[in-house]
Structure 1
Amino acid sequence: MTSSPCEEHDDPAALGPSASPDTLPLPHLPVQLPHHSHGDDDMDRDSAYGDDSLIGDDTVTLSTYITDYRYENGRRYHSYRDGAYWGPNDDLANELQNVAHHMYLLTLDGKLHLAPIDNPQEILDVGTGTGIWAGAMADEFPSAKVTGVDLSPIQPLFNPINCIFEVDDVTLPWTYPSNHFDFIHVRELFGSIPDWDEFFRQCWRCLKPGGYIEVVEHSVEPIADDGSMAPDHFYHVWGETAVDAGEQFGKTFLIWERSATHLRDAGFVGVVEHGFKWPMNGWSSDPKLHELGRWNQLRLHSGLEGYLLRLLTTVLQWSYEQTQVFLAHMRNSLRDYDTHAYLPGTVVYARKPDSAALLHNSHQQHQQPHS
C-alpha cells in the first residue's frame, strides 16, 4: 500500500446509520434502455464486431440487442461487449450491489464521497451498476447533471430529472469532451479495467482543471491483524484464486492498493488515501465494524457465485461442479467467528491541477535549457 495520508474509519463514535438485513429495502430493479449511448462509435472501434454495423437499425433492433442478455449456468450477464465483465446483472446481483452501496454509506458515515467538491455541475459515475449512487448524487446536487455509465441497462426507470444513464464500455476511447466533468466517481471496477494507466488518462482528459476524481475499491483477499487466520485457512485459498483469476483475465483485482500511485502517475495532485475494513462477519466488538461485518457476511454469502462463477468456469476452466464445491467451502468459512479476518479497502481522491498550474507545467516541459 502507498504511504499517502491514510486514516481508518474505525472510531465507534463515528458509527454510521444502522440497519439490519430485515429492514433494508432491496428493490427488484426494472431493465431500462439508456438515455444516451455512444454504442455506434464504440462498436466501430471494436474489432470483435468485424465489419458489422448498427447504423441504420431502428430503435427496436438496438433495444433488443442491448437487452438480449447472455445466460450462463443459470445466471444472467450483459450482452453488450459480452464477456468484458465478470459479474452477472440479474436481480440477485443488482440487489447485492445495493447492499454494497449501503455498506459504503456506513463506511463513510453517511457520505456519498470524501472528495471536497464544491457545487459540481457535471458528475460522471463510472461503472454505475444499478445507478443508486448516481441517483443519490443527483438529489444531493440538484443543479448538477449526473451521468452514470455501465455495460448493462439495469438502472431504474424513474430517476431524478438531472440523472441520466448510458450504456458504454469505459475501456474503449472515451467520447466525452475534454475538460468537461467537475467530479468523476469510480467504485468497484476491480477486475474490469485492462489498463488502469490508460483509464486514468481518459479521466484526466475529461476532468475540468481543478476537478476531482475519487476511486473506491476493496481487496478480494481476506487478512487478519491478530494472527487468528491460520496459514491453512480457506480464506487464503479464496483470495489467491480470485487474484489469479483476475490476472489471467487480464484485469487485476489489486487496484485497491494501487489507485493512489496510478493517480499520481497520471498527473493528479493532492492525492489523499483513506483506508477502511470490511470484516468477513460480525466478529468485531467495535459497533461500526460489527455492523459492517454482518452486512458483508450477507453480501458475500449470497453473492459468492456471482463474483467468481464466470471467472472460474471460463478463465480457469473449472467445471461447474468443482466451482460449486469451492463456493460451498467459502460459505462455510464465513461462519467462522474465531478468525478475525476482513477485506481492506481504500477511498482515494485527487485533483486535476487548475489551469494556471497546467500552463506552468507545460511551459517548464517545453522550455529548452540554455546552452
Structure 2
Amino acid sequence: MDDHDPYYYDSDDDGTASDTSEEGLVEVPQDDIPGYFQERDGRLFHSHGSSPYPLPVDADEFHRQNGLNRLLRTLIGDLFVGPVRELLAMSLGEQRRVVDLGTGTGQWVLDMAHEFPHVRFYGVDIVPIATRYPPHNVLFEMHNIMEPFRYQDGSIDMVHARSISMAIQDYRALLHEVGRILRRGGLFVSCEWGRFPAMEDGSEVAIRAPRAHAFFNAIRDTLRVRRGIEPVASDIPHFLEATGQFTNIETRRFLAPVGEWPTDPARREMGREFREMMILYARSMRAVLRDGPFADYADALVEGYIRDISTVSGIVSTCFTVHARRI
C-alpha cells in the first residue's frame, strides 16, 4: 500500500501526536474510482446521492476550477485572506493542521503545502479527483461536507472553504461543525462568488445585460426548487456571528471583470480569462437547468448569457471573502 496514496491514511500522522480521529478511513482502490461518477448529457457528475452539488466533475470542470484558482490568487493578491501566515507560523513541538472543504482538484492545497511545508493539509471532497500522489504533508479524503467531520474537537488550526455554497443546504449547521473542530484562536476563511453579476458603474444588470440577468435568475430558482440550495455568499458573516463561536469577523468584496472591456492591460487580461471560466460555468450549468423548471429554455439561457458577457462592457462578478477567529 503506497503511503502517498490520498486515500490511504498513515496511522501515526507523520509521526506527530495526532489530534484527529482516523478510525474508519480506508483506501479507495483505483478500480473502484469509476463507481463514484455517473454520466448525464455527455458530462460526468458525482454519484453521491445525499450531496446536492450540481456541477460536473470532468475535464472541462477541472480546467475551470484550476483557472479560477489562478485568477483568484491574482484578484485577492494571495492564496488567502486574513492572518494565515501568523496562524501557520512554525512552532516547536506543535503540528499545524488545515482542512480545505470541497477541495476539488486540490490545487489550493497543493499550492499551500508548497508554501507551508511544515503544515499538515487535509483536502476534503465527495469525489476522488485530486492527485493520487500528493506531497508528504497533504492528505486527500472523501467526505460529504454536509455530514459531521471525523476530526476531534479543537484539533484543527484553520478551515478553508472556497466555493462550497452549492454543496451545502444548511450553511449555518456547517459553521457549527467548523467551530467544533477549530481550536481556540483558530481561523475560518471563506471565499464565495455571488450568484448574480453586477455592473461596475452601479447601473442595472437587468437593463444593461438582460440575458445574463435571466440566466442567473433561472439558476437561482432551479437550485432552490430542485436541490434546496440558497445563495449565501453575502450572508456568511451574519451566520458566523449567530453561532456565537467566532470573533474578529472581517469581510471584503473583490470585483472581477468579465470580458475584455477594461482599459488597464492587466485587468483586460483577467477579464478575458474570467470570461473563459464563466463560459465553461454556463455550459456546465446547462445540464442543471435541463433538470428544472427552465428545462425548455436551458439552451437559450446559456447562449444568451454567453452572448452578453461577450458583447456587454462593464459586467463584473463579486467575490465575497470572510475570515474569523474561533472564540
TM-score above 0.5, yes or no? yes
Shift, 1:287, TM fit: 4.2
Deviates more, 1:256-265 or 1:142-151: 256-265
Residue aligned with 2:295, SS: coil
Shift, 1:263, TM fit: 1.1
Q: How does 1:323-334 map to 2 (within 5 A)?
A: 323-334=298-309
Instruction: Could you list the structure 1 runs, at least 4 aligned residues long, displaced by more than 4 angstroms after superposition.
Output: 57-60
The equivalent residue for 2:20 is none
Change (3 A) 1:229 1:130: same
Residue aligned with 1:92, SS: helix
Match of 2:217 among 202, 226, 240: 240
Match of 2:277 among 271, 285, 299: 299
Match of 1:89 among 39, 43, 57: 57
Q: Residues of 2 paired with 1:261 and 1:87: CA distance?
A: 27
The equivalent residue for 1:345 is 319
Structure 1: gaps spanning 5 or more residues: 1-31, 37-54, 354-371
The equivalent residue for 2:267 is 289
Q: Residues of 2 paired with 1:238 and 1:68: CA distance?
A: 30
Change (3 A) 1:59 1:241: closer
Q: Residues of 1 paired with 2:135 and 2:269: CA distance?
A: 30
Q: Is 1:67–1:153's contact at 8 Å kept on the other side of the alignment? A: no
- Give CA deviations for 1:101-156 in whole Å, capped at 9, x if unaligned: 011111122x1111203253100000000000011111111111100000110001
- Give CA deviations for 1:74-111 in whole Å, capped at 9, x if unaligned: 000112336631011111111110000011111122x1
Change (3 A) 1:58 1:328: closer
The equivalent residue for 1:113 is 80
- Give CA deviations for 1:4-28 in whole Å, capped at 9, x if unaligned: xxxxxxxxxxxxxxxxxxxxxxxxx
Structure 2: gaps spanning 5 or more residues: 10-23, 89-95
- Give CA deviations for 1:308-353 in whole Å, capped at 9, x if unaligned: 233212233615xx42232111111121143x11111211100002
Shift, 1:302, TM fit: 2.6
Q: Is 1:277–1:289's contact at 8 Å kept on the other side of the alignment? A: no
The equivalent residue for 2:234 is 257
Q: Residues of 1 paired with 2:271 and 2:27: CA distance?
A: 48
Q: Residues of 2 paired with 1:343 and 1:155: CA distance?
A: 27
Match of 2:183 among 198, 208, 231: 208
The equivalent residue for 2:14 is none
Change (3 A) 1:33 1:316: farther
Q: How does 1:1-371 map to 2 (within 5 A)?
A: 34-36=7-9, 60=29, 64=32, 67-81=35-49, 84-109=52-77, 111-117=78-84, 118=86, 120=88, 121-226=96-201, 227=203, 229=205, 231=207, 233-248=210-225, 249-252=227-230, 254-267=231-244, 268-306=246-284, 308-316=285-293, 318-319=295-296, 322-338=297-313, 340-353=314-327
Q: Is 1:67–1:78's contact at 8 Å kept on the other side of the alignment? A: no
Shift, 1:58, TM fit: 9.5
Q: Larger C-alpha radius of gyration, 1 or 2?
A: 1
- Give CA deviations for 1:261-286 in whole Å, capped at 9, x if unaligned: 11111221001111101122121224
Change (3 A) 1:89 1:337: same
Shift, 1:65, TM fit: 6.2
Return the letter of the residue paired with 2:53.
Y
Q: Residues of 2 paired with 1:309 and 1:235: CA distance?
A: 14
TM-score with structure 2 setting the length: 0.84
Q: Residues of 2 paired with 1:228 and 1:244: CA distance?
A: 20
Report percent identity of matched pairs: 22
The equivalent residue for 1:361 is none
Q: Residues of 2 paired with 1:68 and 1:183: CA distance?
A: 28
Return the letter of the residue paired with 1:163.
V
Q: Residues of 1 paired with 2:217 and 2:206: CA distance?
A: 15
Residue aligned with 1:142, SS: coil
**Aligned-pair Cα RMSD in Å:** 2.4
Q: Is 1:66–1:80's contact at 8 Å kept on the other side of the alignment? A: no
Q: Is 2:6–2:134's contact at 8 Å kept on the other side of the alignment? A: no
Q: Residues of 2 paired with 1:233 and 1:197: CA distance?
A: 33
Shift, 1:259, TM fit: 1.2
Return the letter of the residue paired with 1:257.
S
Q: Residues of 1 paired with 2:101 and 2:32: CA distance?
A: 24
Residue aligned with 1:323, SS: helix
Residue aligned with 1:331, SS: helix
Q: Residues of 1 paired with 2:103 and 2:28: CA distance?
A: 23
